[in-house]
Amino acid sequence: MKFKTVVFIFAAVLVSGGAVTAQERADALVEYKNGNLDKAIEICLSEIERMPRNLDSYVVLGWSYIKKGQYQAALDAGLAGLDISRYDARIIEITGEANFYLGKNLDALKYFEEYAALAPTGDRIELAYFFMGEIFIRLGEYNHADIAFTTAVYHFPNSARWWSRLGYAREMAEEWTASKAAYEKALELNSSFTEAQRGLERVKKQAGAG
C-alpha cells in the first residue's frame, strides 16, 4: 500500500509539473495574441532558459520578434528552432519571414517554398505565398510573382492590398487585361485604395495605347 501511495504521489507531481509548463506556454501565446510582445518574449526566454529544447517557446519568440520588427533576433530564434526540429513548418515560416525582412531574398524564398511543401494548408500559407510574390517582384520575375500572388489571394481573397500587388505583378509583365481585373478587384474591396486606383489608371492608358 505504501508503494502504491508513493507511485500515486509521484505521478501526480509529474502531471502537475506538465500542467504548469503547458500553462506557461499558453500564457506566452496569449500575451503575443494580445499584443503584449515584450511579456511574451520574457516568458519565452524564461522557458528556454529552463528547457532549452522547448520548440513552442522558439515559435512564439520568433513571432513576437517579427511583430516588434526585430528581424535579426527573429532569425536567430528561427535558426535555433531549426536545430531542434529541422522540418517544423512554423519555425521554417518564421525563418523565411525574418530573412525576407532582412532582404535575404533567396534564403527567404527557400524557406517559404519549404513551408508550402510541408504545410500546403497551414495557418500561414497565404502569407508564405504573399511573401514569395514580393520576393519575385524584387527579383524581376513577374510571371512567378503572378502565380504566387494568385495563390495568396486564393487562400485569402479579402485583402485589397494583395489584389493590388497581383495587379502590379501583371502590369510589370504587360498583362494589361489581367492586371486591370486584379486592380478592379482591389478597388471592389476598398474603393479608396490609392495604390490600386493609380495602377488601374496606368493599365487603362497602356491598354488604350495598345
Query: CA-CA distance, 37 to 20, in Å (whole number)?
Result: 21
CATH of 124-210 among 3.40.50.300, 3.40.30.160, 1.25.40.10, 1.10.3720.10: 1.25.40.10
The per-residue pLDDT for 51 is: 96
The per-residue pLDDT for 208 is: 76
In tens, the pLDDT along 87-105 reads: 999 999 999 999 999 999 9
Residues in the chain predicted with pLDDT less than 50, given as ranges, are 1-25
The per-residue pLDDT for 31 is: 97
Please answer whether residues 77 and 94 qualify as being in contact, where contact means their C-beta atoms are separated by less than 8 angstroms: yes
Q: What is the residue whose three cell numbers read 517557446? A: 57
HSE-CB at 77 with a 13 A cutoff on CA atoms is: 28
What does CATH list as the number for 1-103? Answer: 1.25.40.10
The per-residue pLDDT for 209 is: 62
Q: What angle do CA 103, 107, 111 make, to 5 degrees?
A: 120
Domain with CATH 1.25.40.10 in the chain: 1-103, 124-210
Q: Cβ of 52: how many Cβ atoms within 10 Å?
A: 11
The per-residue pLDDT for 207 is: 81
The per-residue pLDDT for 107 is: 98
Q: Residue 86: left (phi > 0), alpha (psi -120 to 50), or beta?
A: alpha
